[in-house]
Amino acid sequence: MQNCKTHIITLFTLFLFITIHFSYAQDVQFTASSKNIVSVGEQFRLVFSLNNKPSSFKAPSLNGFDILMGPSTSSSSSVQIINGQVTQNVSYSYTYILYASKEGKFNIEPAEATVNGKTYKSNSLSIEVAKGDNSNMQQNQNQTSNSNDVSGDDVFVRVFLNKTDVIQGEQIIATIAIYTKLSIVGFEEMKFPAYKGFWSDDLENPTQINLKQEKYNGSVYQVGVLKKTLLTPQHSGNITIEPLELTCLVQQRVNKTHRNIFDDFFGNYQNVRKKLVSPAITVHVKPLPNNKPADYSGAVGNFELEATLDNKNPKTNEAISYTLKLKGTGNLRLAELPKINFPSDFEQYDPKTNNNINVSANGTSGSKIINYLLIPRHPGEFTIPASNFSYYDLSSKIFKTLLTPEFKINVDKDTASNSTAIVSEFSKEDVRFLGSDIHYIKTNKEKLNEKNKYLISEPLFYLAYPFSFVLFLFLIIWRRKQIKQYADVAAMKNKKANKVAQKRLQLANNYLKENQHEKYYEEMTRAIWGYLSDKLTIPVADLSKEKANENLKLKNISDGTISELNKIIENCEFARYSPNSDNSAMQETYNKSTELIGKLEQNIK
């Protein structure tokens, strides 16, 4: 029995080794990654990554850039077992810290690496170095916490359109974006344009804004999309889009008379408010041509019209279905389906409509479907006439008319039906009793009430009065307590500070597991500063390390705890600018932060 177990363990170990070796021997992927646009004087990273261990690595020439550090090497490995399938993922990276010293476009040739005796090449990169604004950078380092010191060239918002000259009914895309060279902490008092004179559909309304580097007016900015909207002009003429107004929190360096070694290394920052207003934009909307078809309803775009009939040879009193479908791209919401003139001998029920409309960056697309239920009451030959739909085609810039086919219907008499003649003046109901003069028999037992017995004679009726009065008093007391709690905003933030901080710490832990080091330290910093702001009732814009330490001492927090807090903050700030980060040190920082917030939560009330 013991030998049998030993053989099973040996076979399983051998199977696990073979499976891991098979998963490890995967195709070699060798990639190079960096920013596409940087500014003169900016430091940035160049990373070469492989999914197999190389025996040698040869970096390309980095002419045009100064190498500040590198190559620094790092590696990671993970094993997963899913449904018995074992996979191993490994990653080896070579990181350079480069300095853009001059303006221009530079090409970085592929790097070379040798894996298992075979040479592989990475992809090449093209990096554009735009002109930097050194005067603004120096000013930002020396500026104080006055929001007037923030230049309109350093941070601004704009609303831009994919086209400003359109025809009435032609759709355009409005994008609201923020451009910044500074660090933005958050937004307040955001007022979007009302888009008067347009029908609007939201395309993007992100809750979290992702910043990407772009070149604008010869300078490099971090650009984030705040909102993207699809607009359809309602009328011709010049339509002005109102400015966007918002207040953002910008992080600035604060001058201090007494500085320590950490202030010199990390700097001392404070959040200040900056109100931004975008310029107004005018859209020139041209009217449609005067040669409009008589049936034109305002559709602009590219459309197709279909009509189908499920039965061309029905019998009397047999239902048939006529379907009309309009599909295409354009202002589909405003398009109206044509009206159909059905034969007077057909009983027509209220049609059922089904709109499947999608809004994307390519415009509004989809379909509109209307289904008619028809019942022929008399035999004979009947015709459902053709219908037409007109729209303005943007590609050919002319009006076009679509036609549906004409349907010939031959209705035979239903000899099996014993129904009497049906008068056309009957009301149109969803249920008809044809060939029958009685309704369904009710088989369920009805509940009967005793005659001359009323609710007012029941004891429960009189008990309802005091019960209602007590319930009314309870609701008034509960509501007053709730209003009092919500009125004290600071108390609410103090109460929820730990819960909010734990959520941010959990998000930071997720970034740690995903090896996203920069996002990890950024979220850790937000968790600690956000907790201190809510717990000490200090606005984020006024919060600094010195003010936090002073308030913690007033709360009788020990010097050791305060020193530990400052050390964690300094470690997070230092690691954000460090090219290498140790996972064990990051995990230790996370554990200490969780423990420290727990201590503060017990001591600060």
Q: What are the tens digits of pLDDT across the range 156-191?
A: 998 989 888 999 988 999 999 989 888 888 887 788
Neighbours of 130 (CB within 10 A): 23
Beta partners for residue 274, in sequence order: 248
* pLDDT confidence of residue 146: 46
Give per-residue pLDDT as tens, 31-54: 888 887 877 877 788 888 888 788
Task: Return d(Cα 284, Cα 294) in angstroms, integer.
Answer: 26
Q: Which range among 248-257, 332-341, 395-404, 596-605 shows the weakest confidence by mean pLDDT? A: 248-257
504, 505, 510, 516 alpha-carbon torsion, rounded to 10°: 90
Does residue 448 register a pLDDT over 70?
Answer: no
Cβ-proximal residues to 91 (8 Å cutoff; 6+ apart), any chain: 49, 50, 51, 75, 76, 77
Mean of pLDDT values over 69-88: 72
Q: Which range among 207-216, 225-234, 282-291 shows the weakest confidence by mean pLDDT? A: 207-216
Task: Return d(Cα 291, Cα 557) in angstroms, integer.
Answer: 81
List the chain domain ranges: 23-130, 134-286, 301-411, 489-603
User: Which residue has better confidence, 271 or 260?
Assistant: 271
DSSP string, 555-577: TT--HHHHHHHHHHHHHHHHHHT
Q: H helices within 25-180, ranges in order?
A: 134-142
* pLDDT confidence of residue 7: 56
Is the CB of residue 331 less than 8 Å from the CB of residue 394?
A: no
Does residue 284 register a pLDDT over 90?
Answer: yes
pTM of the model: 0.50
Q: How far is CA 25 from CA 18, 56, 69, 77, 367, in A?
A: 10, 18, 32, 14, 49
* pLDDT confidence of residue 332: 86
The domains spanning 23-130 and 301-411 adopt the same CATH topology: yes
* pLDDT confidence of residue 483: 72
- Give the mean pLDDT of the chain: 78
Percent of the chain whose pLDDT exceeds 90: 8
Does residue 466 register a pLDDT over 80?
Answer: yes
* Matching CATH number, 23-130, of 3.30.1300.10, 2.60.40.740, 3.30.450.40, 2.40.30.10: 2.60.40.740
Task: Return d(Cα 526, Cα 540) in angstroms, integer.
Answer: 10
Query: Which amino acid makes up residue 242?
Result: E
Per-residue burial over 268-278, b = 16 or more CB atoms within 10 Å of its CB, e = otherwise: bbbbbbbebeb
Mean of pLDDT values over 409-418: 76
Let me know the angle formed at the C-alpha of 518 by 180 and 226, rounded to the nearest 5 degrees: 35
* pLDDT confidence of residue 18: 47
3-state secondary structure of 251: strand
User: Which residue has better confidence, 336 or 419?
Assistant: 336
Q: Which range among 68-82, 138-152, 340-354, 437-451 shows the weakest confidence by mean pLDDT? A: 138-152
Task: Return d(Cα 82, Cα 191) in angstroms, integer.
Answer: 49
Q: Spell out the SS3 assignment of 438-491.
A: CCCCCCCCCCCCCCCCCHHHCHHHHHHHHHHHHHHHHHHHHHHHHHHHHHCHHH
Mean of pLDDT values over 403-409: 90
What is the CATH number that goes with domain 301-411? 2.60.40.740
**Token pair of 364, please?**
């509004």
Phi, psi of 550 (to 5 degrees): -60, -45
3-state secondary structure of 604: coil
Confidence class for position 268, pLDDT limits 50, 70, 90: low
Residue written as token pair 């000013």: 139
* Matching CATH number, 489-603, of 1.20.120, 1.10.10, 1.10.1160, 1.25.40: 1.20.120
3-state secondary structure of 233: strand
Confidence class for position 369, pLDDT limits 50, 70, 90: very high
- Top-confidence range, 95-104, 304-313, 486-495: 304-313
Phi, psi of 268 (to 5 degrees): -120, 120
Confidence class for position 595, pLDDT limits 50, 70, 90: confident
